[in-house]
Amino acid sequence: LVASVPVKKILKILQETYPDARCALNYTTPFELLIATMLSAQSTDRQVNEITRELFKVYNTPEDFAALTPEELAPYIKACGLFKNKSRHIIATARKLVTDYGGKVPDSLEELIKLPGVGRKTANVVLSNAFSQPAIAVDTHVFRVANRLGLAASDKVEETEMQLRKIIPRNHWSQAHHWLIFHGRQVCHARRPGCPICPLQSYCHYKKID
């Protein structure tokens, strides 16, 4: 961790730059958000929204999905990456929700990560967006941007999450997740970060300006 990193300034600039940053997945219930987030691994949010627009018209409760076989679900989601695995995990998760949780998505990290195919990132997305709990989901953008800015200093996702939880005030956790994603998508790209136009360049040790 860069000891002198001006966290407050960085967060303020992110907030001013991305005032509308929010979850880009479409959903109407915690369960729909859980499924959309499970589908989003190695897929774009736009792809997932296209899939769920049709999928949720036909199936949108744990009971609906629990009654399917992976082969029945696969055709609906095959436009996204890893669809065979996702199909198996989604159905197994739906069945566990029905048998162990009365068909409700649990609202704690410990319970969410017990669901098949649900890791900390998915659990944190559900907690912060569907249950309004402070949480920082570390996806590929959050991981890259946070480590470039010195908000974290780790090559591990979970450690990055813990460092961000320490350095960012709790009331900003959920928004900071969205700000870092927006910044990663719009400016701080993986291969060619837009350092010359970056509003954070004075505070970034990683910046590359020719």
Indicate which residues carry an active-site annotation. Answer: 121, 139
Q: Of 130 and 187, which CB lies nearer to ligand SF4 in the complex structure?
A: 187
**122: Cα separation from own chain's centroid:** 6
What residues contact residue 158 under an 8 Å CB cut-off, 6+ apart?
A: 120, 138
Q: How many CA atoms lie within 13 A of 191 on its CB side?
A: 0
Q: Which residue has the tokens 């704690």?
A: 108
DSSP letter, residue 191:
S
Tokens representing residue 65 in the block: 């999905």
Q: Of 101 and 206, which CB lies nearer to ligand SF4 in the complex structure?
A: 206
Smallest gap from Cβ 160 to ligand SF4, in A, equals 15
Task: Indicate the SS3 state at residue 95.
Answer: helix
Q: How many CA atoms lie within 13 A of 88 on its CB side?
A: 4
Q: Of 141 and 172, which CB lies nearer to ligand SF4 in the complex structure?
A: 141
Q: Of 88 and 207, which CB lies nearer to ligand SF4 in the complex structure?
A: 207
Instruction: List residues near ligand SF4 by CB under 6 A.
Output: 148-149, 187-188, 193-195, 198, 200-201, 204, 206-207
Smallest gap from Cβ 193 to ligand SF4, in A, equals 4
Smallest gap from Cβ 200 to ligand SF4, in A, equals 5
128 neighbors 137 (Cβ within 8 angstroms) = yes
Smallest gap from Cβ 143 to ligand SF4, in A, equals 13
